[in-house]
Amino acid sequence: MAEIKADIALDHRLTIAEVTDMSAQKPDPKIRVASLDIFRGLTVALMILVDDAGGEWPKIGHAPWNGCNLADFVMPFFLFIVGMAIPLAFKRITSRHHAVKRVIVRTLKLLFWGILLQGGFSHAPDKLTYGVDMKKIRWCGILQRIAFAYIVVALMEIFTKKKQTRELPPGWLCIYKLYSSQWLMGACILVIYLAVIYGTYVPHWQFTVNDRDSADYGKVFTVECAVRGKLDPPCNAVGFIDREILGINHMYQHPAWKRSEACTENSPYEGPFRTSAPSWCKAPFEPEGILSSISAVLSTIIGVHFGHVLVYMRGHAARLKHWIVMGFALLILGLVLHFTHAIPLNKQLYTFSYVCVTSGAAALVFSSIYALVDIWGWKCIFQPLAWIGMNAMLVYVMAAEGIFASFINGWYYNDPHNTLIYWIQKHIFIGVWHSQRVGILLYVIFAEILFWGMVAGIFHRLEIYWKL
């Protein structure tokens, strides 16, 4: 899942030290919102799982086009978590200038790491090379999308911040009214997105196959569109805008649609193209593109609202009731839009139904973790996930982006495939279970997710965190 990765970088470990770091009060570092650390850690773990086991278990990988598999929940979960962390980080603001400066610096750091890790410079973990042709560098990616959503919503929070309210007035809608300007901004984003995606005329377009391993390398293909308002793979406004602004050579070269039934007989597995496959199957597409990233801001705005509930509402029961009702409402709305064929669930286009379903799912998952951990005190059974959540950037870079695996693979014996990682996979997991699929799944769970949970635990014990 080269297209999914995390907040990872928003170092909001959700200690009160960070919640109040802009106030004159002395923070109490012992108080934590442990459920948010665990939710972040769970999302990082899911990202590793779908990245590294998705090839053998395609049903947990990205849906080729319409639909929503396990992998398609990871990105919106991260954006939701980013949103929840923002009201906690800016709970008290003594200087808007200082707060804006922090947001801009963190955004620039996210953009730097995003381009470095997903722009094509790193070839980890299988290729022991690095470097990228600037004519083909990928400008968009997961951390870039998170950076965009973060700066938009964080600035919105800073400049619409209300005077500290210790007690909310009675009424179900009071929490919405408190930040009505943010909901208005969300509505404007949605209207702009829908107007562009359904109103933009998409002409015919051409592309050149740049994959050197393809039999069609160097060939030029034409995709016929000349339509408006289509949400199919070749002729949607999302791809058109990215081709016009980013340039087709700077887009993601291995989109999930290549596993669709129209492209390969092995669908949902990867495989050779059908002889009758349409030309667009060989084309690039940017899943973290411009228009879809604008829509993705909605996931973060919804997360901010859940953070406001955590800050302003008193009592676990009131918080859970609000979160669960809103979560189910979003989930039902998204499913109705999808199954009535009004707006399909689509991660690549980041459709409104997809925003609703994934945000509703995030709300319900977080509510469950909150009840288990912060109310019932079952934190110990989730401790490895909590450690991963506290050091999410470290685990993201080393595990999900394969930097650590690439380092280990650099030490091989006689053949680049004869490395410690391949040996462990073959002899300890695949060989014991006599199954490639089961062996890879268990390897990812125990030798990657659990391993990095323990490493993150050691770093936590040493009070070492990768912060941005």
Q: Please, are residues 268 and 59 in contact by the beta-carbon 8 Å criterion?
A: yes
Decide which of 29 and 304 is more confident.
304
Residue 21 has pLDDT above 60, yes or no: no
Residue 29 has pLDDT above 80, yes or no: no
Per-residue pLDDT band at 14 (split at 50, 70, 90): very low
Q: What is the pLDDT of residues 430-466, one digit of tens each?
A: 888 888 999 999 999 999 999 999 999 999 999 999 8
Q: 């309210």: which residue's tokens? A: 165
Per-residue pLDDT band at 81 (split at 50, 70, 90): very high
Q: What is the pLDDT of residues 327-360, one digit of tens each?
A: 999 999 999 999 999 999 999 999 999 999 999 9
Burial 116-145 (b: 16+ CB within 10 A, else e): bbbbbebebbeeeeeeeeeeeebbbbbbbb
CA atoms of 440 and 49, how far apart (whole Å): 10
CA atoms of 396 and 343, how far apart (whole Å): 32
Q: What is the pLDDT of residues 217-241, one digit of tens each?
A: 889 999 999 999 999 999 999 999 9
6-32 average pLDDT score = 39
Give the number of other Cβ atoms within 10 Å of residue 198's Cβ. Answer: 14
From 72, 15, 78, select the one nearest 41 (Cα to Cα): 78
pLDDT score, position 169: 63
Overall size of the chain counted in residues = 468
CA atoms of 348 and 140, how far apart (whole Å): 13
Percent of the chain with pLDDT over 90: 62
Residue 16 has pLDDT above 70, yes or no: no
What SS3 class is residue 130? strand
Per-residue pLDDT band at 131 (split at 50, 70, 90): confident
